[in-house]
Amino acid sequence: MTEQIIQQAAQALRAGKLVAFPTETVYGLGADATNPEAVRQIFVAKKRPYDHPLIVHLANIHQVHDWALKVSEAAMLLADKFWPGPLTLVLAKQPHVLDIVTGGQASIALRIPRHLIAQQLLQAFGGGVAAPSANKFTHISPTTASAVQEELGDKVDMILDGGDCEVGLESTIIDMTSDHPCILRPGMITAESIAEVLGTTISIANHEKHTQRAPGMHHLHYAPTTATTVIPTEAILTLFATLTSETHRIALVTYTPFTMPLPKGIHLISMPRDAKHYAHDLYHTLRTLDHEGYAAIIVEAVPKEAEWEAIRDRLAKASTNKERLIP
């Protein structure tokens, strides 16, 4: 990306425009976090309810105190260890932070991304950039510039193309506003790796109970429009048996290699067998399948280990309507 394009994008942000940019997790839809009208345009473009707060993206750690109050030692430890990177810290906000950014809450979510283009843009702009994932509300987050174009093309003033996103799932969000850190949204930085840095146990929010208006709680978040269901590995064979005389066109997303012949109408998508590469491919795969007119997308349940936690979370959100397994 040329310096000229970065400067043009920073200028667009200063002028109150929306700029979509790559991060290592997913593409973000950015606006100047101090400009209420620009931030409002994010909600309009995404058709996102105003009570869903935004993450403010920063270029460097010194800017944290411009946005947050009472940043604990534990929060700074995490910032030192994981920033720039796919971690978002929820901290007490400075009084000047706009209500439209925080959804009227007393806290603010901050992240320093490590993608080179995000870094260049944030440095050139100099201030905080409010940026949700660059998709319509409830849709899957975009991991390529063309997915952003497809989601929000006519609503965005500029899209910076940084290729496909390295991580592929949204950042881990951790609430650091109390002495008991709590993960609000799992990501590829796991609770275990955070606990290791802090030397304490970390809780994971139970969203039924948790009072914070936190991430992706909406039951239709991250969902393809095609009926999508997650089933255990063993159930796949049963499914094959029940489908032999049927002619449904079904996409089956697995990571276990199946060697037996597939029933008619089943299209097999083999995913990587390790969590990192699976996460990288997941949204792109679901987005592609969603265009191909399948009657259903069936996804093999992923392993129970901690490194798969964020993937399990997103798959559970993608499959909300169990009755629609087979139309």
Site for ligand TXA in 202-221 (CB under 6 A): 212-216
Q: Which of 52, 139, 280, 287 binds ligand TXA (CB under 6 A)?
A: 52
Q: Which of 41, 105, 119, 120 binds ligand TXA (CB under 6 A)?
A: 105
Of 107 and 133, which CB lies nearer to Mg ion in the complex structure?
133
Of 211 and 245, which CB lies nearer to ligand TXA in the complex structure?
211
Long-range contacts of 98-104 (CB under 8 A, 24+ apart): 98/33, 98/34, 98/36, 98/39, 100/36, 100/39, 100/40, 100/43, 100/50, 101/33, 101/39, 101/53, 101/54, 101/56, 101/130, 102/53, 102/54, 103/50, 103/51, 103/52, 103/53, 103/213, 104/51
What distance in Å separates the CA atoms of residue 79 and residue 91, rounded to the nearest whole number? 12
Of the candidate spans 62-70, 100-108, 275-283, 317-325, the one that interacts with ligand TXA by CB under 6 A turns out to be 100-108
Strand 250-254 with 266-270, pairing: parallel
Give the x/- contact pattern for ligand TXA in 54-93, rule: CB under 6 A. xx--------------------------------x-x---
Please tell me whether residue 133 binds ligand TXA under the rule CB under 6 A: yes
Smallest distance from Mg ion to CB 48, Å? 8
Of 78 and 250, which CB lies nearer to ligand TXA in the complex structure?
78
Of 133 and 229, which CB lies nearer to ligand TXA in the complex structure?
133
Of the candidate spans 23-31, 239-247, 292-300, 316-324, the one that interacts with ligand TXA by CB under 6 A turns out to be 23-31
What is the sign, positive or negative, of the torsion defined by CA atoms of 118, 12, 66, 54?
negative
Give the x/- contact pattern for ligand TXA in 256-295, rule: CB under 6 A. ----------------------------------------
Strand ranges (DSSP E) for 121-246? 129-130, 158-159, 172-175, 182-185, 203-204, 228-231
Indicate the length of the chain as a whole number. Answer: 327
Q: How many of the other CB atoms lie within 10 Å of CB of 144?
A: 19
Query: What DSSP state is assigned to residue 137?
Result: T
Closest CA to 317 of 134, 191, 138: 138
Give the x/- contact pattern for ligand TXA in 162-181, rule: CB under 6 A. --------xx-x--------
Q: Kindly list the distances between the CA atom of residue 228 and the CA atoms of 207, 299, 323, in Å, as whole numbers in the listed order.
A: 22, 7, 10
Q: In angstroms, how far is CA 207 from the centroid of its own chain?
A: 17
Site for ligand TXA in 113-132 (CB under 6 A): 131-132
Q: Which of 39, 78, 111, 314 binds ligand TXA (CB under 6 A)?
A: 111
Q: Kindly list the distances between the CA atom of residue 100 and the CA atoms of 2, 12, 88, 149, 266, in Å, as whole numbers in the listed order.
A: 32, 20, 18, 25, 46
Of the candidate spans 50-58, 70-78, 155-163, 294-302, the one that interacts with ligand TXA by CB under 6 A turns out to be 50-58
Give the x/- contact pattern for Mg ion in 94-133, rule: CB under 5 A. ---------------------------------------x
What residues line the site for Mg ion (CB under 5 A)?
133
What residues line the site for ligand TXA (CB under 6 A)?
23, 25-26, 28, 52-55, 88, 90, 102, 105, 107-109, 111, 131-133, 170-171, 173, 184, 212-216
